[in-house]
Amino acid sequence: MHKIIEYEQLINNEIKGTYQLIDVRSPSEHKAETIPGSINLPLLDDEERTRVGTVYVNESADKAKKLGIEIVSKKLPDLYSKIIDLSNQYDNLIFFCYRGGLRSKVLVSLLDSLGIRAFKLNGGYKRYRKYVIKALPEIVKKVNFVVIHGNTGTGKTQILKILNQKSMDVLDLEGCANHRGSFFGSIGLGKQNTQKMFESLIYESLSKSKSSIVFVEGESRRIGRNIIPKCIFQKMWEGTHIKVESDLDIRVNNIINDYVNANNEELIKSLNFLKSTLGIKNIERYADMIRKFEYEDVVRELMIKYYDPLYKRENIDFAATFNSNNPEEAACQIIKWSKDNLKGWH
């Protein structure tokens, strides 16, 4: 009989020793959404999964199972070698597929018969997803957000990183989304996370908070394609709002450092989102300037004509304002102010 473990047991530290979650689904399934911290050890690759699925639909479940067994059996020596390496690093190996079905069940039964300490995660990824949906509104009730606002380029993300390095609790929404939130947001970052993965990473971050005070960057509800869950967004607006300000030259330099490593054509493509606001002629002019490496002029003009006017529309009562020309100093000042003025530290 294969061994089963509940996700709640992991959350409550009810498992003895170290463990590693292992996603046995195909690479594309794992990439789209998985349990944060898991590694991918696919029984079937994407093409093989498609083949098995086609046989299941067009012929029969038995024939699909037979094909799956034939494919996986050829991989067993390599899989076994990788699993042995992992078992030497961790006390417990916890395998999951989508529903906690055949893929993880068969593998765990085999490993158990070989004397390897392996568990099947009950309900697989699907049950974990239900857990996150239920737990997220509950965990955020305990949180008091300190929301950091500021014009583009004022170093908000850098300040969050420094706060995190100084052992402050931080929710990096842009990191969870793998998107920076602006129309340049995904440049140089690769594909944006799915909504499910976005929410999982938010939950994982909040679940590790040591106090009720959590620092977060002020965002619109949408970050690229991701939407901040209503319970999180509402709690942010109920939080303490502070502002950071920085000189224009420093802001321009910050943006250039963040984005100019990207391909020029990727930068130009991102400008298309502003056509309706700035007009085609301006977009074409900016594109030409980028091709001539006139980044500073483009960034400065976009800040003055587009981004700064957007931030002026915010009607927020800020509890405090900090100069962020030096992000390290700003972070230290924010910590001191927060500890002097806010309840919830422990």
DSSP string spanning 15-28?
A: S-S-EEEEE-S-HH
Alpha carbons within 13 A on the beta-carbon side of 154: 22
Alpha carbons within 13 A on the beta-carbon side of 226: 29
Q: Residue 218: helix, strand or coil by DSSP?
A: coil
Structural contact between residues 271 and 299, judged by C-beta atoms closer than 8 angstroms? no
Report the C-alpha gap between 100 and 98 in whole angstroms: 6
Among 97, 176, 231, 332, which one carries the catalytic annotation?
Answer: 97
DSSP annotation of 38: -
CA nearest neighbour of 146 among 233, 203, 214: 214
Annotated active-site residue 97? The verdict is yes
**Residue that is written with structure tokens 């309840």 in the block:** 343
Dihedral pair phi/psi, residue 10, rounded to 5°? -70, -45
Strands of the 39-40 sheet, one edge to the other: 4-5, 118-121, 92-96, 19-23, 39-40
**Residues known to be catalytic:** 97
